[in-house]
Amino acid sequence: MSKEDPKHGRWILPLVVLGLVAFTYTFVNALPPAETPTTTTVAAGTTTTTTTTPEETTTTTLPEEVVAFVATLDSLAATAVQMRADAETINAEYPDVTGYGATRDLLSALKADAADFADEVAAVVVPESATDKWSDVITAAAEMRKAADDMFDGLVNTSGSEKRLAARDDFNIAAATFDQLLDSAQELATDG
């Protein structure tokens, strides 16, 4: 009898298993690390700890009067933008698109809207933290009213277009100032 083992498969199976283990170990170590809230690394006797915290959502509750004030500011800002666009359109379309009568009626309506708007701004209930800035907002709304009056007057009572167009420019400036002042008043109200 021969002393050699005739079953070569007895040595191959353990080598295949050892190869699979080595391959798995190498593959798993090559993967990027998973995100974990806390990671600790030890190197040469020092410890480094990196902490990843989830983003927090903070909810602040504003007083009801401030919430109502902010909603009012949004409405006023939208109205001012619309009146500014109307003033531009009315002046741009006269006399080529709309005639004198139609333009007079449109400017009269804008004049009335600007007067109502200025009264509405003056009547707003303002939180205490924004009262200092609100007088400037009222002034800007009054300047919009005056510019609308001057646009109408420039069409109806003045020859030429200089006064009407200058009033349109004044209206645009007052509306832009009004918008900036609303932003400042809102910041004061929500921060205070």
CB atoms within 10 A of CB 188: 18
Model pTM?
0.68
HEC profile of 125-156:
CCCHHHHHHHHHHHHHHHHHHHHHHHHHHHHH
Q: Give the closest residue to 192 by CA, choosing from 135, 141, 129.
A: 129
What the chain holds in terms of domains, given with CATH numbers, is 64-191 (1.20.120)
CA–CA gap between residue 6 and residue 13 (Å, rounded): 15
Cβ partners under 8 Å of residue 114, min gap 6: 83, 144, 145, 147, 148, 149
Phi-psi region of 162 (alpha: psi -120 to 50; beta: other; left: phi over 0): alpha
Give yes or no for a contact between 155 and 101, defined as CB atoms under 8 angstroms apart.
no
Please give the chain's pLDDT, 192 residues, in tens. 556 666 666 656 666 677 777 777 777 777 777 665 554 455 555 555 555 555 655 555 888 999 999 999 999 999 999 999 999 999 999 998 999 999 999 999 999 999 999 999 999 999 998 999 999 999 999 999 999 999 999 999 999 999 999 999 999 999 999 999 999 999 999 886
**For 159, left (φ over 0), alpha (ψ -120 to 50), or beta?**
beta
Task: Compute, in degrees rounded to 10, the torsion defined by CA atoms 70, 72, 77, 83.
Answer: 180
Can you read off the two tokens belonging to residue 171? 């209206």
